[in-house]
């Protein structure tokens, strides 16, 4: 397999010091026990926990990521965090363009592309999120929406080594609803075709496309077994050690 599975936990705005550290330690211990080298495991805690989680996962091969970044390296941007700062702190990854940022913070494809380009430039790997709303899906626009998002938010410096795409249908996030496995595979295959246009076929074939949206231990195996699904971006189920460990196990 040219594409190494990535199981990523997006903790969103969850976790205080004690429970965040306990969760990170638990995930680290579980992943270490597996001894697996055929998959990558990543946790993306809120900014406030990055330093503590970094310590908690030391020596476990679990990687560290942030959930967003600015596109500038430094300067007068109150409340923002730069990719250079994240790299300096020890992050390997950063998520950009999550639907919650697109919706709640009005982030455009153009802005997301700038963030992703800057993060790559800073030496981080980016997870660029895309996905349609329920209304867009009902109107049969899923592929159109994903195509526009990829063309607009994947930057010029993206390669399979520094960029991962996460397909997260907005209506499946935190709802317990998931598309059928056929729909997931169809959309992922379509995304790979669009990536081939954007980045070239060789890069597209090696670029990982994660599925996200109500992935849990009970549905992970069938989703992760799909040929164009190269891992998962997990919200709710990444907040419980047992659930996240079960999803890692399901990726075998």
Catalytic sites, residue numbers? 98, 168
Closest approach, Cβ 154 to ligand 13P, in A, equals: 17
Would you say 207 or 210 has its CB closer to ligand 13P? 210
Give Cβ neighbours of residue 89 (< 8 Å, ≥ 6 apart): 50, 51, 54
Closest approach, Cβ 119 to ligand 13P, in A, equals: 17
Closest approach, Cβ 213 to ligand 13P, in A, equals: 5
CB 115 within 8 A of CB 121: no
Would you say 9 or 84 has its CB closer to ligand 13P? 9
Would you say 84 or 247 has its CB closer to ligand 13P? 247
CB 39 within 8 A of CB 251: yes
In the bound complex, which residue of the shown chain has the CB atom lying closest to ligand 13P?
A: 235
Would you say 13 or 76 has its CB closer to ligand 13P? 13
Cα dihedral sign, 76-77-83-89: positive
Q: How far is CA 25 from CA 20, 34, 59, in A?
A: 9, 15, 11
What's 122-157 look like in SS3?
A: CCCEEEEEECCCHHHHHCCCHHHHHHHHHHHHCCCC
Kindly give the pairing relationship between strand 62-66 and strand 93-96. Answer: parallel
Number of residues in the chain: 252
Interface ranges with ligand 13P (CB under 6 A): 10, 98, 168, 173-174, 212-215, 233-237
Closest approach, Cβ 56 to ligand 13P, in A, equals: 21
Would you say 84 or 214 has its CB closer to ligand 13P? 214
Closest approach, Cβ 180 to ligand 13P, in A, equals: 16
| Among 78, 75, 94, CA closest to 86 | 94
Q: How far is CA 59 from CA 25, 34, 62, 138, 250, in A?
A: 11, 14, 8, 46, 23
Angle among Cα 216, 222, 228 to the nearest 5 degrees reads 110
């Amino acid at each position: 397999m040219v594409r190494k599975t990535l199981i990523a936990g997006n903790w969103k705005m969850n976790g205080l010091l004690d429970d965040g550290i306990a969760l990170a330690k638990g995930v680290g211990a579980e992943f270490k026990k597996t001894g697996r080298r055929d998959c990558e495991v990543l946790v993306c805690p809120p900014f406030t926990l990055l330093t503590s989680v970094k310590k908690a996962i030391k020596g476990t091969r679990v990687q560290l990521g942030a959930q967003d970044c600015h596109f500038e390296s430094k300067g007068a941007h109150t409340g923002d965090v730069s990719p250079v700062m994240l790299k300096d702190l020890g992050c390997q990854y950063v998520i950009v363009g999550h639907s919650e940022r697109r919706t709640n913070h009005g982030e455009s494809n153009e802005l997301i592309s700038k963030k992703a380009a800057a993060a790559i430039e800073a030496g981080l790997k980016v997870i660029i999120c895309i996905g349609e709303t329920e209304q867009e899906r009902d109107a049969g626009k899923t592929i159109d929406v994903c195509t526009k998002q990829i063309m607009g938010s994947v930057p010029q410096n993206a390669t399979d080594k520094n960029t991962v795409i996460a397909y997260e249908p907005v209506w499946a996030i935190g709802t317990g609803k998931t598309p059928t496995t056929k729909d997931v595979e169809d959309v992922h295959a379509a995304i790979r075709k669009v990536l081939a246009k954007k980045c070239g076929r060789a890069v597209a074939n090696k670029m990982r496309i994660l599925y996200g949206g109500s992935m849990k231990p009970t549905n992970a195996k069938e989703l992760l077994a799909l040929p164009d699904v190269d891992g998962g971006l997990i919200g709710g189920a990444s907040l419980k050690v047992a659930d996240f460990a079960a999803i890692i196990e399901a990726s075998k």
